[in-house]
Structure 1
Amino acid sequence: MSDTYSNFKEQLLRQLSSQLHGHYFPEEYDYVYDSISEARDRRRGINPMSKEYTERVNRRRLQRGVSALNNEGHAQDGTSVAYAHTRAVELLQQAETELDRHLSAALYDIDPARTCCRENECEDEYDAIAAAIIACIRDGESYPVAIRQQMILSFGREHFDHRTLNTLSEAALKLITRSICQVLIQSEDV
């Protein structure tokens, strides 16, 4: 396995871990929505969330082997991050053989070449390009360079503005991991 492919997988793993952490432990982000008085309470060691909510959340956390929230309603340690990371590693291993499919779906959603594939329901529009990008990464090309080169090779430079080419790799990475997460969420709902 090339170093660039390992780097690509590490990027996916970081993004996937972050998304899974938000999925499994949304209570750790409750503080974002605190009012001024709730934020003041948290600083004083008072959890502004209801006792019932906190108990329900802590039961779910303990079932997953993660520490309960502290008195302020924050995570006490990194066990939730470790849990999400472990799940992300497992999920990425399962999804690795289908990375080109996830990348194709991401490119379909973005439609960077403005082919109107979504409007025309041409879901396979980016299949060959996604497979070529993954092959380039495995052969040693960095992910951002591979995606840029394959898009230009497939559609021509004139189809892309500078901003699209510079932001495409990051936007597609987020959608790849979202697609992988959706597979997990759907399997958990069954």
Structure 2
Amino acid sequence: MSNSYRQAAKDTRSPIAKLADRIHLAEFPEEYAHMNDSHADAQARRRGENPMNPEYFEQVNLMRQVRGVGPLDTFGQPTDQKSRKWAQEKATRDFTIKLDNALYNNDPMSTCCVQNYCTDEYANITRGVIARLDKEPLHLAILNELEQWFDKELVDRPSVHLGVMATLTDLI
């Protein structure tokens, strides 16, 4: 079945990459300012002029410096990829915490971690899932990592699959 021109291409990136893009857009909107340029602003950029207000430009560069990110060049464009790296690191941290909490709260392997307050029960599993996300979809990464830590027969139970589905629901 071919894709119609109306169907959007499926985004197969990892959830961390998607989150990193959203974080980058929210935290560094100045890098996307050129997309909203008026005709006059676009012409000014082509002439080598920065259409940004000088005070705003200074404020943005100060904020970027505080975050350990390189300044914008005279055209208002980033001078390096540090802002992308910053967003990727934040996305990884945020998603790791969210996944660990979701696994803990749903306890797909029924380890009674919630009842026994074993908050680090799924910490190593979470790290393994994060490492797998570049190669596998999230649900398979969780199941495969659970198989790594537990027996395959234990992971193949319907209750585990329901627990993984509940975990995925918490991540949405």
The equivalent position to 1:94 in structure 2, one of 89, 94, 97, is 97
Letter in 2 for 1:61: R
Letter in 2 for 1:73: G
Q: Which residue of 1 aligns with 2:10?
A: none
| Secondary structure in structure 1 of the residue aligned to 2:14 | helix
Query: Once the 2 structures are TM-superposed, how far is the Cα of residue 69 of structure 1 from its aligned partner?
Result: 0.6
Q: Which residue of 2 aligns with 1:67?
A: 70
2:16 & 2:49 partners in 1: Cα distance? 35
1:20-39 correspondence to structure 2 within 5 Å: 20-39=23-42
Letter in 2 for 1:48: P
Q: Which is higher, the Rg of structure 1 or of structure 2?
A: 2
Question: RMSD of the alignment, in Å?
Answer: 3.3
1:74 & 1:57 partners in 2: Cα distance? 12
Q: Which residue of 2 aligns with 1:52?
A: 55
Q: Which residue of 1 aligns with 2:142?
A: 138
Unaligned runs of 5+ in 2: 1-12, 105-137, 145-161, 163-167
Cα deviation digits, residues 55-109 of structure 1 (max 9, x gap) = 01010000001011100111111011011111111112211123479xxxxxxxx
Letter in 1 for 2:81: G
| Secondary structure in structure 1 of the residue aligned to 2:31 | helix
2:34 & 2:139 partners in 1: Cα distance? 42
Write 1 or 2 for the structure with the bigger share of helix: 1
For CA contacts below 8 A with separation 6 or more, give which structure has more relative contact order: 1
Letter in 1 for 2:100: T
Query: Once the 2 structures are TM-superposed, how far is the Cα of residue 139 of structure 1 from its aligned partner?
Result: 2.3
Give 4+ residue runs of structure 1 displaced > 3 Å after superposition. Answer: 98-101, 134-137
2:37 & 2:68 partners in 1: Cα distance? 27
Identity between Structure 1 and Structure 2 (%): 30
Q: 1:135 to 1:78 in 2, by over 3 A?
A: closer
What TM-score results when the alignment is normalised by the length of structure 2?
Answer: 0.54
Q: 1:93 to 1:44 in 2, by over 3 A?
A: same
Letter in 2 for 1:52: E
What TM-score results when the alignment is normalised by the length of structure 1?
Answer: 0.49
